[in-house]
């Protein structure tokens, strides 16, 4: 009865907070405490470990972002400031390392704010990689899947897009981008009033949604803790998810705008207060301090992917080490905690998902996670007494590579009727 009351309270809280009751809304009651685990063989129909080629031409420091397109894996490596393209067997294909006319200040080499490659978005229909660079806010730069530079795309001078923090393509010409409330429009002092803008080829703003309304969300740097482009491909080329800080709504976006909202109701122990984004007198400049004290409170939901009847997501809070990556069955309401899924013979007793990397991509057929070689070699060492019979690819990997080698992509296919 207590949980029912808490969920009812949170339903009212979220309806007031999100202001999205008129949209097609699916209510999800999520209680992390009752999420179950399982064994890999019962959860996954296929598990394939794909080591990325390790050679001087394609050294990877980290997989900051993974895009799965056609026959390729496109890896954004923020640490080494590069985009590297691999074939689906993990072999090296191409690399984007330079943008014509731009030169990075060597004194800022370790500062991501001065990276050549600040973010990327894939136009799948045109097979192009659009790059946002921190060295030039006036333009985007376009590469093809061969790693070759194609052209520069000027951004509309009157558009607020020059300050966007993340973007995604919805079709061949239409894109969606996010602006945080501390951004200013070019050549004016007018503050940004919306979170999401839709653009045609980055030239004409078509639509804007999710207003910064003082009744539902304040403005300022501390009301948005994710600045890295919170868009996640849903597995369909013309749809993606958008999430925002302190908001437990998952916004599904298509070329016409927000088409559906998944409204997540969390237990009160996991939820920030109802007035967390609006009570400036109480919380302004104190939100980070509040989360540091109340470490279980969820400050964002990330890594959101929809695969058939299943919804994947990660709950982010300051309870480091917690198992917080979930799979929700939209038909039955059952909740699976993915890091609780135990390795077995089907995975060579190796893990499939870590809290550090979560789910990285969804191509409509498979979901993808990643491991550093250090993590996988540690797993290999821990199961030596089980004498696993590795696949030829993994056998070659463990015999020829080291814990310092390139990361490994894990391709996962779910069992039906979980």
Give the pTM: 0.90
Residue 400 banded pLDDT, cuts 50, 70, 90: very high
Q: What are phi and psi of 379, to 5 degrees?
A: -65, -40
The pLDDT tens digits for 274-322 are: 899 888 889 988 998 999 999 999 999 999 999 889 999 999 999 866 6
d(CA 223, CA 4): 29
Whether residue 108 is predicted with pLDDT greater than 70 in this model: the reply is no
pLDDT at 40: 96
The pLDDT tens digits for 127-162 are: 999 999 988 888 999 999 999 999 999 887 656 666
Question: How far from the centroid of its chain's Cα atoms is residue 201's Cα?
Answer: 23
**Domain span at 251:** 2-414
pLDDT at 92: 98
pLDDT at 7: 44
Q: Which range has the top average pLDDT, 177-181, 196-200, 202-206, 335-339?
A: 335-339
The pLDDT tens digits for 3-47 are: 443 444 444 444 334 455 467 899 999 999 999 999 999 999 999
Q: What is the CATH number of the domain that holds 208?
A: 2.120.10.30
Residue 7 Cα distances to 11, 85, 100, 103, 308, angstroms? 6, 45, 54, 53, 26
pLDDT at 81: 92
**Greatest CA separation for the chain:** 66
pLDDT at 229: 62
pLDDT at 235: 74
Mean pLDDT computed over every residue of the chain: 86
Instruction: Tell me which residue of 22, 16, 29, 14 sits closest to 258, measured CA to CA.
Output: 22
d(CA 166, CA 179): 8
Instruction: Tell me which residue of 342, 359, 361 sits closest to 351, measured CA to CA.
Output: 342
d(CA 223, CA 219): 7
| 162: alpha, beta or left? (left if phi > 0; alpha if psi -120 to 50) | alpha
Q: Return the H-helix or E-strand segment holding 130.
A: strand 128-133
What is the 3-class SS of 67-104, one letter each residue? EEECCEEEEEECCCCEEEEEECCCCEEEEECCCCCCCC
Residue 213 banded pLDDT, cuts 50, 70, 90: confident
Q: What is the mean pLDDT of residues 104-116?
A: 74
Token code pair at residue 318? 């300051």
DSSP string, 22-56: TS-EEEEE--GGG-EEEEHHHHEEEEEEEEPP-SG
Count of domains for the chain: 1
Contacts for 33 with CB less than 8 Å, ≥ 6 apart: 267
């Amino acid at each position: 009865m207590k949980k029912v009351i808490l969920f009812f309270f949170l339903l009212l809280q979220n309806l007031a907070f999100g202001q999205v009751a008129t949209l097609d809304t699916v209510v999800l009651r999520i209680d992390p405490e009752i999420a179950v685990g399982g064994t890999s063989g019962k959860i996954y129909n296929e598990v394939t470990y794909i080591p990325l080629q390790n050679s001087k031409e394609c050294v990877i420091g980290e997989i900051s972002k993974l895009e799965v397109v056609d026959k390729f894996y496109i890896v954004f490596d923020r640490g080494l400031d590069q985009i590297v393209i691999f074939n689906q067997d993990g072999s090296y294909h191409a690399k984007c390392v330079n943008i014509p006319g731009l030169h990075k200040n060597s004194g800022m080499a370790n500062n991501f704010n001065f990276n050549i490659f600040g973010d990327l978005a894939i136009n799948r229909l045109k097979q192009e990689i659009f790059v946002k660079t921190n060295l030039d806010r006036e333009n985007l730069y376009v590469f093809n899947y061969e790693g070759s530079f194609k052209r520069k795309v000027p951004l509309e001078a009157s558009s607020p897009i020059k300050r966007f923090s993340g973007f995604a393509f919805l079709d061949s010409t239409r894109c969606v981008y996010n602006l945080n409330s501390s951004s200013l429009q070019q050549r004016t002092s007018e503050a940004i009033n919306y979170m999401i803008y839709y653009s045609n080829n980055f030239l004409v703003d078509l639509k804007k949604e999710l207003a910064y309304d003082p009744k539902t969300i304040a403005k300022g740097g501390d009301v948005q803790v994710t600045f890295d482009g919170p868009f996640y491909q849903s597995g369909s080329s013309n749809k993606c998810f958008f999430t925002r800080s302190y908001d437990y709504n998952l916004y599904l976006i298509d070329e016409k705008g927000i088409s559906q909202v998944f409204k997540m109701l969390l237990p009160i122990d996991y939820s920030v207060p109802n007035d967390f984004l609006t009570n400036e007198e109480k919380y302004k400049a104190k939100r980070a301090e509040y989360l540091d004290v109340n470490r279980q409170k969820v400050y964002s939901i990330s890594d959101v992917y929809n695969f058939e009847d299943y919804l994947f997501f990660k709950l982010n809070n300051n309870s480091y080490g917690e198992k917080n990556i979930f799979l929700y069955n939209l038909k039955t309401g059952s909740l699976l905690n993915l890091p609780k899924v135990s390795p077995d013979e089907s995975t060579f007793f190796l893990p499939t998902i870590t809290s550090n990397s979560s789910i990285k991509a969804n191509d409509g057929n498979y979901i993808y996670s990643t491991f550093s070689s250090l993590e996988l070699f540690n797993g290999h060492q821990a199961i030596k007494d089980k004498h696993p019979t590795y696949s030829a690819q993994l056998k070659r990997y463990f015999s020829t590579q080291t814990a310092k080698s390139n990361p490994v992509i894990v391709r996962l296919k779910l069992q039906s009727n979980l």
